[in-house]
Amino acid sequence: MKRFEWSNLNAAERQAALARPARRRDNEVADVVRRIFDDVEREGEAAVKRWSETIDKRAPQTLALNASVVDAARAKLTREDLEALAIAIDNVTRYHEAIKPKTQEIEVRAGVRCRRVWRAIASCGLYIPGGTAPLFSTLIMLAAPARVAGVRERIVVTPPGKGDGAPHPMIIAAAAACGIETLSLVGGAQAIAALTFGAGVPKAEKIFGPGNAFVTEAKRYAASLPGGPVIDVPAGPSELMVIADDGADPRIVAADLLSQAEHDTDAQVVLVATSDAIVSAVARELELQTPSLPRAEIAQASLAQARLIRVRDASEAADVSNAYAPEHLSLQVANTEPLIAQLNNAGAIFVGAWSAETFGDYICGPSHVLPTDGAARAWSGVNVASFMKSFVVQEMNEQGARALAPAAARLARLEGLEAHARAADVRVQ
């Protein structure tokens, strides 16, 4: 963990203090991703198989979620497991049903009507991480809003499970509960390439889901290809910033930071605190809580990238947060509303000691697939509208055309586009 006194840093030092782990944009990662994509574009499914056997030591498989498969998976789970799953899916579905975009009709002026109409995209690829942890929560956070949007083809890809390669029972149960009929057991950059070119899985028009550095780079590269898929957001290794004042509970702050540090060795957590006392108290709690975690080794590697930043006040904390643009932002301060008013860049904000980021990860309702690496400066998190597109229907009657034609023709001629002008003129001559 590195400590900083924000007011003592110059511009270059502040930029360095908020830098993400270098491996997230490692040239070696980019080179491997391009090799995988070149192979899959040239050889198709055979290249996906070869890369999967090299990286995951297992060839891709397709698992049909028929009644016997789903029943067998559910039998391995407790009643409490299934009840928690049902609550999560219900909350996510309710939230996205409530915010689903609706057709809007506007009469710009008499005789001129414009409607914005929404339609679901035809297909989406949903990448569900499973390398170090089976993130069935991500499956819910993607498959449920995609279903609310009305996406016809939802293609789920996830790495094979440990041992025999079978997915975790909760992956199967969550997929079935969200109406998914098939799982493709393939992970990593090769899964993104497969979705891009339709190699062994259907081709996806848009690819969703977080992942490690290779998956994130693969999504970025796929979107750059001519005719390539659209992607949801740059969603790489997890990150959390906590803004805390002297009233914050150091145990809670440390627990929240560790909840994201245990995700991935490339995850990054940042504490922005208004006093040296809270910085030191949280640092001690991190040292006390980390060793007892089952994923302590991962958390400790992540904490090596952690930042502990001392600021003068909440206003300066807002400046730090806006500069970093965190995926997750937790506010552990006494007076939150004035602080929220100053915040512009964040994937999701969790307000107060009761609002654990963990609740957002699993069960509140909004999707936990959020922009990372500073992308929150311009991107929003995944929501039902991410699985939809809109277009405008413009309709004019004679009254509207006569009202608009002279101005439209004049503007067209000012741009030197005579045919445009005549297309307006001819309607009213």
Q: Is 327 a catalytic residue?
A: yes
Q: Which of 328, 337, 398, 420 is catalytic?
A: 328
Is the Cα torsion angle 421, 424, 425, 426 positive or negative in sign? positive
User: Distance (Å, rounded) from C-alpha 186 to C-alpha 167?
Assistant: 11
The gap between the terminal CA atoms of the chain, to the nearest Å, is 75
User: Distance (Å, rounded) from C-alpha 42 to C-alpha 197?
Assistant: 10
Q: Is 398 a catalytic residue?
A: no
- Which of helix, strand or coil describes residue 109? strand
Q: Which of 239, 262, 285, 327 is catalytic?
A: 327
Nearest to 238 by CA among 274, 254, 262: 262
Nearest to 185 by CA among 128, 123, 231, 132: 128
Angle formed at CA 320 by CA 314 and CA 322, multiple of 5 degrees: 105
Identify the residue whose tokens are 């057991």.
185
User: Distance (Å, rounded) from C-alpha 242 to C-alpha 320?
Assistant: 11
Is there a contact between 125 and 367 (Cβ–Cβ < 8 Å)? Answer: no
User: Distance (Å, rounded) from C-alpha 49 to C-alpha 44?
Assistant: 9
User: Distance (Å, rounded) from C-alpha 307 to C-alpha 17?
Assistant: 7
Catalytic sites, residue numbers: 327-328
